[in-house]
Chain A
Amino acid sequence: MEKFLMGEYDIIVVGAGHAGCEAGLAAARMGKKTLMLSINLEAVAMMPCNPSIGGTGKGHLVREIDALGGEMGLNIDKTFIQSRMLNTAKGPAVHSLRAQADKNRYHLEMKKTIEKEPLLDMKQGEVIDLVTNDGRACGVVLRTGAVYRCNAVILATGTFLAGKIFIGDSVFDSGPNGLAPSMELAEKLREYGLPMRRFKTGTPARALADSLDYDKMIPQDGDSEIVPFSFMNDELEKDQIKCWLTYTNEKTHEVIRQNIHRSAMLGGKIEGVGPRYCPSIEDKINRFPDRARHQLFIEPEGLDTDEMYIQGMSSSLPEDVQQAFYETIEGLEHLKIVRPAYAIEYDCIDPLDLKMNLENRTIENLFCSGQFNGSSGYEEAAAQGLMAGINAVLKLDGKEPFVLDRSQAYIGVLLDDLVTKGTNEPYRIMTSRAEYRLMLRQDNADLRLTELGYQVGLVKQDRYERFLEKKAVVEKETQRLKLKIISPEAANSLLEELGTAPLKSAQSLHELMRRPEVTYDNTASLDPERPELSRHQKTTMEVEIKYGGYIQKQLAQIEKFKKLENRKLSSDIDYGSIKGLRIEAQQKLNDMKPLSLGQASRISGVSPADINVLLIYLEKERRS
């Protein structure tokens, strides 16, 4: 096939899913001429699985992406059709925002944003090879023969790479949702010696809305007061749709058990490793045989479609079995399947082959993101896309990498886990993975990250000013509340009403707000001269007052953590020559080239004694 040069860019992004979109937008917004390529432009910001954004840990990621100047938060705020704040009773660190998205509008809005971005071009085309020069990525080759040259490539191939769909014993090469897979590129990456492997995931069937009986299901409403994802939005109002809850029963389980031999998942056809938190229904029944029922949610896929997503019921059983077991469920007796459930297997890289800036260790200037790195989920993908985009730009500009640590962001936890520890299954973020959860709240993501986003040049002036204002207002109002003294006479009738003990002597409103029953809003009558605060300002201020003591404790822990994190390790250290390191540690350290002693201490096979040896080594180097 004849090849021909079609264009030159600074950066090329392969893939236009959630990782690709953030990568492309970040690179372009930071001033690089960027090209985004996708096998099919209908797949831009496509949600091939559940129609929702956010949730525990994931909602935190979206807030962080937003705080750094990413797009996901803004896009879901434009296109959500139901919004809920989860975990409100379980503490400020784990309040988690989740929104049901209108899938098609989500895709269209994101596509529009990309189309309008001045330095960003978007093209339909299948990348079948990389162009490399002296071990450095410098272009891509399309199936048409077109060659685009560039200085850095960002891979964001999702589940397209050597994608293979399983429905019963029907197995065929395919990307998600019936789109074409990317087969040749997968082969080429293996030829280049990248450590590739197979992961799998799955999705449930979609049913026609009119074929369901909603009287038999339990409605789930959105919150009456909507909290936006983006720090750029304060108040949003919208008519929200309902979701529906129903359960499987013994009959369902019976149908599945009788046909289990026809499942691709359990029939041994699938070699890829699936995520434990996303099991198929046959998996659930197999592993938890004593459970009498499993819950499922019926979620609309959008306002312009009658397709309904059956959350909790992914499967790789044949279509006839799917029809049979779905029909046993209350409310689903007459269901019409629009799209069958399927399992999909795909190629991804062992993330241990990446550096903390998401650059590949084997091929220079090749950045990697999203499911390609072994993660799972739209939010995890977007977070990595954003970081890959930023870091590709910084690399080309000869600047220091932008790396967030575990005490700064869930993004830091996500990347450190992937790159330092690796993963044996598609990786999902969870709040329990974060050591400093009380600091990594979703309400303060802007206070943690917007300044940094501004410094790297992704956060623009309007967002930055908004952040500065929030910071100033929160500080000023917190100080004012410390000085605002409330007398027992003024407060006690209100306190009684709120069900909390009366005051014996005068106290500051700041002190009073530490009580669980007392909030900023319900004390408004005691404090008529207070200024008007926005929702985001109020939330952060309130959390910091209420949990001040615990936050201080966590800050002390972080200070300790930082001591090792701040001890930087140069990438040209030859660990093999350091006497006193155990052989295993020498090898691992030489493979990983950790950025700091902190990162080194998290590598499996590096012991506390090895870290001590490194400390002595560093001091020795400093002095000589």
Chain B
Amino acid sequence: MSRNLRPARSLADELRARSDENLQELFTLRPDLLSPLPTDITALAARASSAPSISRALDLLNAWEIQVLEIIAVISEPVTLKSVKEIAGERAVAPYEKFVTLALIYMDEAEIRILNSVRDALGPEPAGLGPVGTGDQSRWRKKIEDAPSAAKAMLEKLTWGPPRGTVTDIKRPTSAVSWLMENQLLTPTDTHTVALPREVGIYLRGNRVHKEHFDIPPDYSSKNLSQEDVDSAAIGAALEILHHIEELLHFWAGEPAAALRSGGVGVREIKRASDELGLEEKYLIFIAELTYISGFIALHNEEEFLPTSSFDIWRNKSLEERWIEIANYWLGTSRVAGLIGKSERGYIAPLGPEIDRSSIAHIKKLALTLYGEIAPTAVDVGALAERIKWERPRRAFGSHHDFVHWIAREAQWLGFTGRNALTSFGKALLQGEPTIGMSALLPKEIDYILIQADNTAIAPGPLEVELAREMALIANIESKGGATVYRLTEQSIRRALDSGRSSDEIRKFLGKISKTPLPQPLEYMITDIGKRYGKLRVGISFSSYIRCEDEGQVTAILADRKLAHLQLRQLSSTVLMTEGDIYEALDALVDAGYFPALEDRDGALIARKHDKARAKSKPRPPRISSELAQPSEDLITAALRALRAGDKAANHRRSAPIVAGTPSETMGTLTLAIKSKATVTVGYADSDGGVSERVIEPIHLVGGILMAYDHGSDEVLRFSVSRISGVAIVE
């Protein structure tokens, strides 16, 4: 092994020599290097080669890049671009350049150096190859040809991995194993295992590292569509989900969903809501989750979920604003609604704590970007999953296909995609454009309804927000979609009266917005209910009471069997008393066909709110994400300036050389530094044997352990004094 004697370049040297642009590029690709800000280039190099940071960086590589990296890691030294290309071909150049930019490798003259931590991250058997062997190539190559057949078969088995084999006892090997070991074609790794040395493996693979090169990204496109068709299919879905969010929350405001003790809501609540709204359960669960991640519902008094005032604020925005808001929450969330439901680990509850997955936002963004690359061509979702697996092989896991299918389904429900292709407004949102042009695609809002003899009212298009809200109060909604079908019933009119509308107002409102004349029976009904409403009053004084000027009605109520459970007692010819709850009395009267109104102590009518229950707004559930926000350009520039300055200072400091001392000298200097609150430079042996230089502020020293603030990592760390090779106080 020939090694020249000039001092090897280190990663720190390489980074220090980089241009500003070059470093900026690095920080854009690996934002974790800036958080927190390293003090100088040495610290930056340490951070860049730390295992967690390397792991993040490798997560960004596609399948082909991983293969090229493996090739660099396994082929014999000296590794050069030429030797890599011999195995990987011309297509290895782009990955190679990317690795340099990412600081996974650096050049030492013409030789490629790969960071040890990158090697570690690739695992003990990269590309299924065994440990590095020691042996003279020329010797074993010849031997392979005249290997006995049993040995040959064994080699063949080990060639494409796994490169290990088990033997009963290494001391008493079979003849084939023994022959192979003698000829350095097998290496014992412990008493029961032998392995094929890496060089032998590559040779047996025909001077290849991988059986197949994944250098072509898999195709995932399906049908060609026009953007217009895609948008028009999606806009309906987008409108619908906005409606359904409101509907669900109105429903839960009236009948709050009980929270499970273990968090989230139970199957029954979901079933109830999906029956009530006539929606498929999976879709309903998704909507519930959307409202949760948007902060539109929150746990109230630890027992039930209620809408929050954030919901009310959102409701008053335009359709486009509303959609952008929830679409952004969906993009950023770490919650995976698809996981909800029965699983091997039991029931996973919606709005519960178990569905955060840190990588989902990243996969989602990648998926939508891939949608965008071929839009308006439709995506084959199965093939898309394969493509994502290729793009981010280290992120894909067992249920990867499920996750991608869920993303595709949710994107469709939201109207991000239509007919499995990205919409124009979805694309605009992804690209962060200020307006996404959704409004132009929305059907025009209308300001009228058509009332018919069967007491239905139809808005043949999206009704203006104010009108829609009023209609939803006065009438029950029977069908939604492009149009809305309302039904006016006694009960719905009473609800409006309860909310403080007068029958006159209701009639006028309907008369004003209906293009068709009000049917006479409807008008009659509204007037009739108005006349009856409020004659019968329910209030609370010393106990709940019912009063009515119409003595006949009082007598009838007293005699009514349906009301027997209220245990009414007559106080006077116009007043009855009940022991029960005032609302119980009200509901019982309504059920029995009467028209009671609630009054306060002064006899004034009180509006009874039907869907106004609200929880205090709480922060939205946290995003659990391994992704760091992309740092802004300004931030990177500032960071760069600070780094260069820190580096200069460190160079200056380093002029005071570290004195290698005896342990007692080291202890003395450290104790002094603690007393005088001085900063010191220490030589510290890390676990893989290297000695790094660190700038620290010692805090205290007990039992051979030093606690000190480390400038490089910006945190307080434990140092074992026995590993400190020397100390110098920084002046």
A binds B: no
